[in-house]
Structure 1
Amino acid sequence: MAVDLEVLGELERKVLWLSTWTIHAANHLRDKPDGLKVGGHQASSASIATIMTALYFAILRPEDRVAVKPHASPVFHAIQYLLGLQTRDKLERFRSFGGAQSYPSRTKDVDDVDFSTGSVGLGVAMTAFASLVQDYVRAKDWARPAAGEGRMIALVGDAELDEGNIYECLLEGAKHGLRNCWWIVDYNRQSLDGIVREGLNERFVSIFRSCGWDVTVLKYGRLQEAAFREPGGARLKAFIDDCPNALYSALCFQGGAAWRARLSAAFAGDAEATALVERRDDPALAALMANLGGHDLGLLVDSFAAVDHDRPILFLAYTIKGHGLPLAGHKDNHAGLMTTAQLETLRAAMAVRPGREWEPVEGLRLPAERLAAALDAVPFAARGRRRFESAAVPVPATLAYGVAPVMSTQEAFGKILGEIARGSDDLARRIVTTSPDVSVSTNLGPWINRRGLFARSTVADVFSDEKVASVQKWAMSPAGQHVELGIAENNLFIMLAALGLSHSLFGERLIPVGTLYDPFIARGLDALNYACYQGARFLLVATPSGLALAPEGGAHQSIGTPLIGIAQDGLAAFEPAFADELAAIMAWSFDYLQRSGEGEPDERSWLRDETGGSVYLRLTTRPLEQIPRTLDGDLTRAIIDGGYWLRPPEPTCEVAIVYQGALAPEAIEAAGLLAEDRRGVAVLAVTSADRLSAGWHAAERARQRGRATATCHVERLLDALPRDAGLVTVLDGHPTALSWIGAVRGHRVKPLGVEHFGQSGTIPDLFHAYGIDANAIAHAVSAVSPGRPVRRLGSLA
């Protein structure tokens, strides 16, 4: 390919200057009223500036997608600024409110971020799963690819390769035939705390090749390669290969004189090698030893451009942390900042005049017209912003399912999805399910039997072909709509993140549904948070849950997950008790996942539902007797908003029992036990503590801002309850998930729930032992409503 390396070299200088200056200005020029160091990573940015210059200005196409290593955010913003996709104002406010973000963010930056990468290592794996999603989309007969087939590229800090999720991802990619994926490692051999251990490069190469990746090692720049061909060059190459990482970094920091002394000592007695050193002055010697593969623009461009296949590739590019800066190679440079004196030295080298630090062509040694023409011709920016739009998939107002007199929410979920699978509408075609080897045990079986498993090429169901009877059909084909994953929750959540961004990345809407066992949400919590931070949209179905999974014991009985549902931003959490509630929630969820509006919140709930988000369903295997009823509009809205009165309070009500999820029978039974001794015992069914809490906090903020009449759903519910009445809250999870309700209107509250690891047993035994059965609920009434003693209750012992 024809690339003007002279222009590219000037852009590399400008990218290094702008990224360094952006961090310097934030820390040394901008007022800091809180007195905190603003931070930034000048050395980490400098080590990858050449690689990113080669990619963005010469190699990348509009359909390519890139995850930039977190600490190279200033380089990314500088490149976007030169391409006209970032503003000077945002750069001047780097790491301040409203400015360019510390780490690239899809949702908070204005420039063209493909993948948020604040969580170290997760953005790397995201590119692999995005590539799998690209294959999924392109395999469908309804797909209208909005662009050519893109490469999913991760720019990886070498210390990120310590992250275990990367290797889980490698294995999954090998199983699914990963392609169109590049990982480019900035192999500077320095981490936050020190120097990377010796020999890891060979291990990385071995691991990646064993997983089916091509590996290209870019160790020596062209200056070094030329020197190796000189007399004595073999000794120089051997020195570079044998030099420990820490020593190489230290010598780079010390400069040409230190290199001369070390090399002269090492080459003593070898006239040719000594002469090779002596032919270069100190600056030239320092430049030679710093000319590693990751800092050679011509080598990088040629290596990237030479790729003529779609196999996954690891580029291991040797670099120097802080390359081109006075702190290059120093072991403390990760979070170190250049001093003002050091910055002025760099300014002089870059020929940047005071007051013109932000000018795109300031200090460059080529005519501005030539540089402008080159920027206008950059392929990556040829189509402007590269995010796509995709029309929303219509969702029926109600979802059908096979109603049974007694059923669990997990069973109802399987029936609802199974009924959708029978159809041929766009919703049925756009749903894609995925699960970490628990698809059958989370009730995805009916869906998979009807819609099939996805693979790029057809794979027969051997058991079926061999006439082995099985209720599960396991044929794979490009038409399939279930992506089966191995047992790795990190992979599940990153896959959901990639699936949930398909409309923006590839221009085709998907409705992702992921299932897993509820207690194992915690195993992938970082990846779940990452998926939500991206703005990805998916339905997470976590089942089974709680002590109600009685025989399975404490390892499978979740406790704190309701708190995760409340705390996680971008994720609306529900825990319905009955099948009709679940059906209403799922119908709403399929629409909610697709929303991306703006504006004022709904004054009925004060929730920002118009912005959309992901949804988490905490379901259970416990069968419950279903309520024979038909949901009207008001009840459906109440279920979606988070709760409704199953037994409304009377004017003389002394106590209300508030339950969530599978504890419905115990709450109802306890109300019956209390009926003869307490007036008007009410029962409040909470379908979403998360949405009740969020609405309450939002309404309070509205009142603080002058909307005196703002009232949320939970406040209106509790307005029906006398102020001197008490509340007993109960759920099969941590009691704190509901205990806050007492603060809404000042009611006394006694929260019940599970605070300790579960154990094997029957539901009655466990609920009794952990104090969440009907008897315990009735006893708790005396703590909040100390009137007449309650009769007919058994002992709590």
Structure 2
Amino acid sequence: MSAQNSTPEIGEMIEASSTGRVAAKDLAMLGQIEKKVRWLSSWTIHNANHIRPKRDGIKVGGHQASCASMTTLMTALYFNVLRPQDRIAVKPHASPVFHAINYLFGRQTKEKLENFRAFGGAQSYPSRTKDGDVVDFSTGSVGLGAAVTNFAALTQDYLRYKDMLPRGEKPGRMVALVGDAELDEGNIYEALLDTWKHDIRNVWWVIDYNRQSLDGMIDAHLFRVIGRFFRAVGWNVITIKYGRKLHDAFAKPGGKALKKWLNEAPNDVYSALTFQGGAAWRKQILGDMPGDNALTSLLGDYDDDALHDLMTNLGGHCMEAVLNAFDAVPNDKPTIFIAYTVKGYGTPLQGHKDNHAGLMNVPQMDAFKKQNNISDGQEWDYAAGLDMAEDKIRDFINSAPFNDGKARKKLATVIDIPAMPYARVETSSTQEVFGKILNELAKMKDCDLADRIVTTSPDVTVSTNLGGFVNQRGLFGRENLADEFRERKVPSAQKWIRSPEGQHVELGIAENNLFLNLAALGLSHSLFGQRLFPIGTLYDPFIARGLDALNYACYQDARFMVVATPSGISLAPEGGAHQSISTPMIGMGQPGLTSFEPSFGDEVATIMGWSFDHLQNPDGGSVYLRLSTKPVAQPDRDLSNETKSQIVSGGYWLREPGKDCKMAIAYCGAMAPEAIAAWEKLSVDHPGIGLLAVTSTDRLYNEWQDLERTRLEGKASGTMSHIENLLKPLASDARLVTVIDGHPAAMAWLGSVRGHAVAPLGVNNFGQCGDSIDLYKHYQIDTDAIIRATKRWD
């Protein structure tokens, strides 16, 4: 047998202390509510799988066992501990428990529960955008829901230190309800390290330590590693291992031996006995510890049902132990609660190693219904099967501190966006222009936009052109910290002064953390009622490293600007490891994220101005700018309002096509010089050739496709998308050459809009070192390749 715990337990502290702050009558009431929550969550899943008609024959699913292990913990939190300003990320597989609690609060309808996992019903995993106001953080991709609470706490600190939150109100606790198997996810530890550097406060993680995962048992020694790691990054660690009944038994003759057996019981043995029941418990314990008369006598005091109840009385299922654990938090430092639980607690599935995706069958549910004193037709009733009157239960639930009846999602003031401060120079890159615009914004006084911009970057602040902004506005930190290089008069272009007034949050080299930080900052208007304009920068190829967290941020409608630079093989000498290929298609395919790839500085300024408005628009979203370090000659022009509108719509004719045009070149981003040079050479023999500047393949493609789907429904007659209007001047047999410093598929679809022949040029293999001249020639995106592509039809 292997020891399960060597750390102090909260249960032991309870035994030596008073009963706690919760009166016995309230404990009894919470016990009744917990029973109802367990029933409703189990019934919601059963109804979806066994009662609601199936039209496609596919299993609906749900996680009855994963729900049952959380009911005590979630009941204690929602009906007693949490306050309105607290924010909660619920582990994905406890979604039915969450929905059941909100049903009791009156914030969820019976119809939504009846349609759990159906179209328009309660979602399989909590979703801010689909479940509505009740969800603070979407969860689903395991580990991310836990980690985002750390960055939400950092966001709250950022706002607090700038006096942007109500004075006198206690900070909200950012609470994560976490499955123990989620701790296998690497992003958990990246987040813990990065937020430790920022000394975050007011974070609680409650670990559902049921020691079972999808495919097997959790390692018996995991609790030790969990405790050590969290203590190493400054967290309070509180273990909730045994409940009141077990502690009472431990105090009796034979109790020390019983506790020793429990401490040494392997996880798989414990789980198997939990499924088998009282007789199996007795046989196993006495067989493992023969000749202990006191232990034999102690076990003899319990019949099989009572012994089973005793042996499953872990701390995470003892309301008294749980509440006293939450009360035992000594300070505002981050705190983790390791709550020992039984997967499937109180159901026929408890303890079985196959219970993760298992469902109670109809006979098992009938027995469970009888166990809960629920009659047919009473399954959704508020108080059916409980030992207390419905009005008393309703009064208790209505008085829960968390249940204040107010909307969970806050509203923030819309900020006026000034004109972007762009000044043309002869030659510049889009990355450089972006940095200069931010630098000029940072210099503005009494500018709401500038004061609410917060930048962040995974250790590439300078190389992504954020240095100027940081020099002006400083790094954010809870305490003042001078730049020692400047203090010692050591020459440096960077001024790294850290203070509570700073507006840049520096991160380590972890792209998951970047996107989780952007997610939290980008929800500040909804979580805390204060508008921020988060801007995150990273190298373009490393979007893929944080793609799960980027998708997670967009899924819950966080609002931010991600600037990815340098992009493509134009970062020539760096080689394939730092060159990006598929990112244009990521930008096109990611919901909630509008991507742009401008060529010129005035386009960057136009797009940034539009983006700051888009971040605030209820129907808006986040923005992705794919920028380059490639120097490009800047056009000397004053953009008309019409051209600006076309730039943000996705494209415009840099050189208008002639009448009945038979040929056009469409380029994107860094390929402007090569496309312009090809156009100039070709226009000698092909007057009227068009040159199309594509600033957003994303906006062009998705608007066109949305309109096409509308047309399939017989609607939108006579309406044209922007790309259809742009290509309208071309002859029906015109040829298109498209060129992008990325995968050619990102622009190849242009030929499908009006049926034009297309020669798509781009990069569809790993890059390599070289200068841009050699690389463009090798990957056939240089001027000569563009010209050759136009002659394919000659």
Structure-2-length-normalised TM-score: 0.96
Secondary structure (helix, strand or coil) at the match of 2:279 reads helix
Secondary structure (helix, strand or coil) at the match of 1:768 reads helix
| Corresponding residue for residue 707 of structure 2 | 699
Q: Does 1:682 align with 2:703?
A: no
| Corresponding residue for residue 405 of structure 1 | 426
Amino acid at match of 2:700: L
Amino acid at match of 2:653: W
CA distance in 1, matches of 2:164, 2:157: 13
| Corresponding residue for residue 11 of structure 2 | none
Point out where structure 2 has 5 or more consecutive residues left out of the alignment.
Answer: 1-20
Displacement, 1:654?
1.9
Deviations 1:223-279 (A, max 9, x none): 111111111111111111111111100000000111011112122111001111111
Amino acid at match of 1:412: V
| Corresponding residue for residue 286 of structure 1 | 308
Q: Does 1:76 align with 2:85?
A: no
CA distance in 1, matches of 2:348, 2:85: 37
Displacement, 1:460?
1.2
**Which of residues 15, 23, 36 is equivalent to 1:14?**
36
| Corresponding residue for residue 790 of structure 1 | none
Secondary structure (helix, strand or coil) at the match of 2:685 reads coil
- Matches for 1:280-679 after TM superposition, within 5 Å: 280-396=302-418, 398-424=419-445, 425-596=447-618, 611-679=619-687
Secondary structure (helix, strand or coil) at the match of 2:331 reads coil
Alpha-carbon contact 1:146-1:507 (below 8 Å) kept: no
Q: Does 1:154 align with 2:173?
A: no
Secondary structure (helix, strand or coil) at the match of 1:723 reads strand
Secondary structure (helix, strand or coil) at the match of 1:239 reads helix
Displacement, 1:499?
0.0
CA distance in 1, matches of 2:710, 2:413: 32
Displacement, 1:402?
3.3
CA distance in 1, matches of 2:574, 2:166: 46
CA distance in 2, matches of 1:492, 1:467: 32
**Which of residues 44, 56, 60 is equivalent to 2:78?**
56
| Corresponding residue for residue 774 of structure 2 | 765
Displacement, 1:147?
5.2
Deviations 1:54-81 (A, max 9, x none): 1000100000001000000000000000
Deviations 1:120-158 (A, max 9, x none): 110000000000000000111454469531000100000
Alpha-carbon contact 1:516-1:543 (below 8 Å) kept: yes
Amino acid at match of 2:184: D
| Corresponding residue for residue 721 of structure 2 | 712
Amino acid at match of 1:581: E
Change in 2 beyond 3 A, CA 1:183/1:83: same
CA distance in 2, matches of 1:717, 1:395: 29
Report the aligned-residue RMSD: 1.0
Change in 2 beyond 3 A, CA 1:235/1:522: same
Amino acid at match of 1:731: I
Q: Does 1:98 align with 2:106?
A: no
**Which of residues 2, 12, 25 is equivalent to 2:47?**
25
Displacement, 1:303?
1.1
**Which of residues 751, 757, 769 is equivalent to 1:748?**
757
Deviations 1:402-437 (A, max 9, x none): 321000000000000011001121001000000001
Secondary structure (helix, strand or coil) at the match of 2:238 reads strand
| Corresponding residue for residue 259 of structure 2 | 237
Secondary structure (helix, strand or coil) at the match of 1:675 reads helix
Q: Does 1:735 align with 2:744?
A: yes
CA distance in 2, matches of 1:270, 1:214: 38
Amino acid at match of 1:48: M
Displacement, 1:222?
1.1
Displacement, 1:678?
2.8
Alpha-carbon contact 2:594-2:624 (below 8 Å) kept: yes
CA distance in 2, matches of 1:503, 1:35: 42
Deviations 1:458-500 (A, max 9, x none): 1111111111111111111110000000000000000000000
- Matches for 1:766-781 after TM superposition, within 5 Å: 766-781=775-790
Amino acid at match of 1:302: N
**Which of residues 188, 196, 214 is equivalent to 1:192?**
214
CA distance in 2, matches of 1:294, 1:330: 18
Secondary structure (helix, strand or coil) at the match of 2:765 reads coil
Deviations 1:557-577 (A, max 9, x none): 100000100000000000000
Displacement, 1:307?
2.1
Displacement, 1:315?
0.4
Alpha-carbon contact 2:422-2:602 (below 8 Å) kept: no
CA distance in 1, matches of 2:655, 2:392: 76
CA distance in 1, matches of 2:518, 2:169: 22
CA distance in 2, matches of 1:150, 1:501: 15
Alpha-carbon contact 1:80-1:111 (below 8 Å) kept: no
CA distance in 1, matches of 2:159, 2:615: 18
Q: Does 1:110 align with 2:119?
A: no
Deviations 1:171-204 (A, max 9, x none): 0121000110011000001000111122111011
Displacement, 1:386?
2.1
Amino acid at match of 2:734: A
CA distance in 2, matches of 1:43, 1:465: 59
Alpha-carbon contact 1:560-1:733 (below 8 Å) kept: yes
CA distance in 1, matches of 2:416, 2:239: 49
CA distance in 2, matches of 1:287, 1:479: 55
CA distance in 1, matches of 2:773, 2:287: 80
Deviations 1:312-360 (A, max 9, x none): 1110001110000001000000000001100011111111110110011
Percent pairwise identity: 58
Amino acid at match of 1:696: W
Change in 2 beyond 3 A, CA 1:546/1:446: same
Alpha-carbon contact 1:94-1:102 (below 8 Å) kept: yes
Displacement, 1:111?
5.0
Displacement, 1:456?
1.1
Deviations 1:697-738 (A, max 9, x none): 111122223221121100000001111100011000000000
Q: Does 1:723 align with 2:738?
A: no
Secondary structure (helix, strand or coil) at the match of 1:725 reads strand
Q: Does 1:139 align with 2:148?
A: no
CA distance in 1, matches of 2:100, 2:443: 51
Amino acid at match of 1:553: G
Give the stretch that moved more between structures: 153-162 or 367-376.
367-376
Give the stretch that moved more between structures: 69-78 or 675-684.
675-684
Secondary structure (helix, strand or coil) at the match of 2:563 reads strand
Point out where structure 1 has 5 or more consecutive residues left out of the alignment.
Answer: 597-610, 788-797
CA distance in 2, matches of 1:475, 1:277: 65
| Corresponding residue for residue 607 of structure 1 | none
Secondary structure (helix, strand or coil) at the match of 1:676 reads helix
Amino acid at match of 2:629: T
Q: Does 1:254 align with 2:276?
A: yes
Displacement, 1:368?
1.5
Give the stretch that moved more between structures: 758-767 or 696-705.
696-705
